[in-house]
A and B are shown apart, each in its own frame.
Chain A
Amino acid sequence: MSKKKLVTLFLSTLSLSAFTFGGGYVIVTLMRKKFVSEYHWIDEDEMLDLIAIAQSSPGAIAVNGAIVVGYKLAGIAGVIISVIATIIPPFVVISFISFCYEIFRTNIIIALMLEGMQAGVGAVIAAVVFEMAAGIIHEKNIFSLFIMLSSFFLTYFFNINVIYIIFICIVIGLIKTFLWKGCVKS
């Protein structure tokens, strides 16, 4: 990959990251628009699989999206370049806000704003959870419902560490995959 292409990769991931509000799902869609439709660097089918990898691997989707696209286009160098470009904008913005935060917090108007926004963000999360839970309930899969309810009780009422729950689910998922494969083969 030429130097010029690497610069383009850096600048496009940087601008995507700086101007994308609203989470990882939005940024991967924009990445697809940029790298598939605009530059024709990746073909449509491959991009869909790369997005699936970004979404099903651990970590932030935006960062994972940058990794898969960077790797596909320019190997390890591409990964480093696109990841750095992706984290620079939030890093700069949040650093700036953190330095002002203490000053902000003592101002009565801003303190009231932030207090009210706590109820607002609570509502945003509640709305997201209702939507996601409705999706799971709609599947009418007893196993998924069981996982959802038991995970909730274990974390909220019994304070079980989140990591244990995720780890157990990964193990269950792997066992299920291998059992399923075994069934298909025999």
Chain B
Amino acid sequence: MILLQLFLSFLQIGVFSFGGGYAAMPLIQNQVVELHHWLTISEFTDLITISQMTPGPIAINSATFVGIKIAGIPGAIIATLGCILPSCLIVTVIAWLYLKFRQMESLQSVLNVLRPAVVALIASAGLTIIMTAFFGELGIAVETLKIQMVVIFVICLFLLMKWKMNPIFVMVLAGLLNVLQYFLIQPLL
């Protein structure tokens, strides 16, 4: 039963993630965190972090990670299959049609409408991640705000936007800054 649920969830992620990169993130968050509670939002953020630092698409990494956590290796295989099955069918048919008719305007035009929506969905999922980083999972309130996380976030954003630094490097730096402040600054407070 749980295997079937995993399969169906990742099948939906496979069908509805358009646009590559982070596009699958809001869908995965929706299925895995909000609908099925297989991961907490912190675990989900760890998963995105790990995905950034390892090879492979976020969707495949999530399928493997969630599958193993919920139902071991069989879970990981089933979830991964669910995730790639729609692509295998849809893309093969499109590739076949293309090689036969060489026409793909409607596909591009649908993507043009989807692109702004995908940006918005990534923004929404990203904002949830940022809020969790700032306030933890207890909810948004003045007393739960972790100032050090806001400072690290601002430093990282500056390094990324202004100096175009490598994202993997910036993330590792963020981790190191948090370790440093814990041992150097926290004891002083």
* Interface hits, A129-186 → B, CB 8 Å: 129-130, 132-133, 136, 144-145, 147-152, 155-156, 159, 161-163, 165-167, 169-170, 172-174, 176-177, 180
User: For residue B19, which residues in chain A have a CB less than 8 angstroms away from its CB?
Assistant: 55
- Counting contact residues on chain A (CB < 8 A from B), the size range is 35 or more
User: For residue A87, which residues in chain B have a CB less than 8 angstroms away from its CB?
Assistant: 56, 60, 80, 84
User: For residue A7, which residues in chain B have a CB less than 8 angstroms away from its CB?
Assistant: none
Contacts A136-B119, A169-B113 given; indicate if A49 touches B98 (C-beta within 8 A). Answer: yes
Specify the chain A residue showing the minimal Cβ separation from B26: A162
Contacts A67-B92, A90-B54 given; indicate if A98 touches B171 (C-beta within 8 A). Answer: no
Tell me how far the C-beta of A129 lies from the nearest C-beta in chain B, rounded to whole angstroms. Answer: 5
In the complex, number of A-B residue pairs with CB atoms less than 8 Å apart: 341
Measured in the bound complex, the distance between the Cα atoms of B158 and A148 in whole Å is: 25
Q: Which listed residue (A55, A124, A150) contacts B160, Cβ 8 A?
A: A124
Please determine whether B98 and A97 come into contact, CB atoms closer than 8 angstroms. no
User: For residue A156, which residues in chain B have a CB less than 8 angstroms away from its CB?
Assistant: 123-124, 127-128
Measured in the bound complex, the distance between the Cα atoms of B148 and A119 in whole Å is: 10
Contacts A64-B91, A124-B170, A173-B113 given; indicate if A90 touches B179 (C-beta within 8 A). Answer: no
Please determine whether B90 and A59 come into contact, CB atoms closer than 8 angstroms. yes
Q: Is B187 engaged at the interface, CB distance under 8 Å to the other chain?
A: no
Please determine whether A161 and B30 come into contact, CB atoms closer than 8 angstroms. yes
Q: Is B27 engaged at the interface, CB distance under 8 Å to the other chain?
A: yes
Please determine whether A118 and B132 come into contact, CB atoms closer than 8 angstroms. yes
Please determine whether A176 and B113 come into contact, CB atoms closer than 8 angstroms. yes
Q: Which listed residue (A19, A98, A128) contacts B55, Cβ 8 A?
A: A19
User: For residue A94, which residues in chain B have a CB less than 8 angstroms away from its CB?
Assistant: 50, 54, 56, 60-61, 64-65, 68
Contacts A53-B107, A123-B174 given; indicate if A83 touches B14 (C-beta within 8 A). Answer: no
Contacts A59-B14, A97-B54 given; indicate if A119 touches B60 (C-beta within 8 A). Answer: no
Please determine whether B59 and A59 come into contact, CB atoms closer than 8 angstroms. yes
**Chain B interfacial residues counted at CB < 8 A:** 104
* Interface hits, B74-107 → A, CB 8 Å: 76, 80, 83-84, 86-88, 90-92, 94-96, 98-99, 102, 104-107
User: For residue B53, which residues in chain A have a CB less than 8 angstroms away from its CB?
Assistant: 21
Please determine whether B121 and A25 come into contact, CB atoms closer than 8 angstroms. no
Supply 20 further A-B pairs (C-beta < 8 A) apart from A61-B57, A148-B119.
A24-B57, A57-B87, A62-B57, A64-B91, A71-B91, A114-B175, A117-B174, A119-B133, A123-B153, A123-B174, A125-B48, A125-B126, A125-B130, A126-B157, A129-B119, A129-B126, A149-B120, A156-B124, A169-B110, A180-B109
A interface with B by C-beta (< 8 Å): 17-25, 49-50, 52-64, 67-68, 71-72, 76, 79, 83, 87, 89-91, 93-95, 97-99, 101, 105, 109, 112-130, 132-133, 136, 144-145, 147-152, 155-156, 159, 161-163, 165-167, 169-170, 172-174, 176-177, 180
7 pairs of residues in contact across A and B, judged by CB atoms under 8 Å: A57-B91, A59-B59, A60-B59, A112-B179, A112-B182, A136-B116, A166-B114
